[in-house]
Amino acid sequence: MNHTAPLVRATNLSKRFKIYPKPNGRLIEWLTGGRVQRHADFWALRGLDMTLYRGECLGIVGANGSGKSTFLKILAGTLTPTSGSCSVDGKVMAILELGTGFNRELTGRQNIHLAAQLLGIGADYVNQKMPDIEAFAALGEFMDRPIKLYSSGMQARLAFSLFAFLEPDVLIVDEALAVGDISFQRKCYRHMEQMIGSGRQAVIFVTHDLHAVTKLCTRAIWLRNGHVELEGEPPEVVERYQRFMLNGEEGIATTASRRPAVSLDESGVPQSGRLARCEAAVLYPSGGAEVLGLWLELEDGTVTQMVRAGKPFRICYALRFVAPAMQPVFGTRVTTARGDVLIGINTKMTGVITPDYALGDVEIVRWPVMAGLAAGDYFISCGCSLYDDPLHFLAREVDAYRFAITGAAATGALCNLTGAPLLAGASCTA
């Protein structure tokens, strides 16, 4: 338990917004002195308690509209709470919305001096830190060009470099890094790790990248409908949040004794495996086959949307051929929410020769996946194509099924090797 004084303390923090269904509602309330009400109360935050200490990285997860941004804006001082209190012992800097606080007519360098001045930071200190800021931002000649000429990624570079190297006591980062290029994101995460490791600063990190929460954060909070649903170790909070987002899917059973009865339809597809495309799905017109179902199985046959880190599983899908097909190629792909492809495989690549299929035939394909994926959310694509023309798809479903890996992995890697290395051996001479 940390016995030092917290940098941030929120007690029974609540924020109410007045929602007016009609434009004249606010005027009517003002003219009647509030005796006639024309608004409905919306509580973005309700009774929130939180502490943050030096050396901590607090990850905040939650669906859109759960109160994350409202909470951060209160911490940053751009919103005032309706009730409760929020105290900050130190300097807080927040990257909330790209371009916030920047003067679009001034250059990047001028904006750095302006922001520092508004924060009460002296010019001598800024000049001392300027080489580090310039080197980290890597904007080159754009450092002396107006912000209005910057892309969103360039604004992200300037904002993070500015706030990180002015060494705040608390740095708040709210998804702004998502627009940056991959190399810059890596630099930012590494810098935040160094900030946390120094023990002198604290970070509040709001993101939908659950892998980053489990890897980077020392503690996590799940916000739901404006209140803290759960606070604790990042793997536990992420798993509970994933369960909720996947509609409370249970089924992390890993032993045969816990295997539920599986009800199959006439095609041999589990009832729970019938294809219910997720929001991200892209459906292509059928060209000779159709996908009947797409699901995940554990080794004992349990159908699930959640798999414990370190446990093998199978990607399964069923197709019905609506036209004869000669030796079609079956394939699957697993990607992250950003679109990074972690698995991409088909039967032709593995040397499997499939049979010929007649009109109405159904095939169920099961791809074994060895343990190795880290905690996070993933998307599955599947389909089949012609043997001589892999780009001619008979059936294709892209990002049609979402699943989650939960719990702590053996390492913090997103994907791990599943076998031992092959060593050529070493020779030595006397």
297: CATH: 2.70.50.60
In a shared domain, residues 58 and 202: yes
- How is 97-122 classified by DSSP, letter by letter? STTTT--TTSBHHHHHHHHHHHTT--
Does residue 424 fall inside a structural domain?
no
User: Phi/psi at 201 (nearest 5 deg)?
Assistant: -130, 170
Answer with the one of 220, 245, 270 that is the final residue of a domain: 245
Cβ-count burial 171-185 (b if 16+ within 10 Å, e if not)? bbbbbbbebbeeebb
Does residue 129 fall inside a structural domain?
yes
Gap between the Cα atoms of 180 and 279, Å rounded: 24
Q: Which residues lie closer than 8 Å to 19 by C-beta, 6 or more apart?
A: 39, 40, 41, 42
Digitized pLDDT (tens) for each residue of the chain, 430 residues in all: 455 788 999 999 999 998 888 888 888 888 888 788 888 889 999 999 999 999 899 999 998 889 998 998 898 888 899 999 999 888 888 776 555 568 889 999 999 998 888 778 888 989 999 999 998 888 999 999 999 999 878 888 888 888 778 888 888 887 666 656 667 777 787 888 888 888 888 889 888 888 788 888 999 999 999 999 999 999 889 888 988 887 644 333 322 222 333 344 655 666 555 556 676 677 777 789 999 889 999 988 888 888 888 888 999 999 999 999 999 999 999 988 777 888 899 999 989 999 999 999 999 999 998 877 887 889 999 999 998 887 899 999 988 888 988 876 665 566 665 555 555 545 444 4
In a shared domain, residues 340 and 363: yes
Answer with the one of 223, 245, 267 that is the final residue of a domain: 245
Q: Which domain holds residue 188?
A: 8-245
In a shared domain, residues 216 and 268: no
| CATH number of the domain residue 216 falls in | 3.40.50.300
Gap between the Cα atoms of 145 and 159, Å rounded: 15
Does residue 250 fall inside a structural domain?
no
* CA neighbours closer than 13 Å in the CB half-sphere of residue 257: 0
In a shared domain, residues 236 and 270: no
Does residue 429 fall inside a structural domain?
no
Are 145 and 153 spatial neighbours (Cβ–Cβ below 8 Å)?
Answer: no
Indicate the angle between helix axes 152-165 and 182-198, nearest 10 degrees: 20
In a shared domain, residues 220 and 264: no
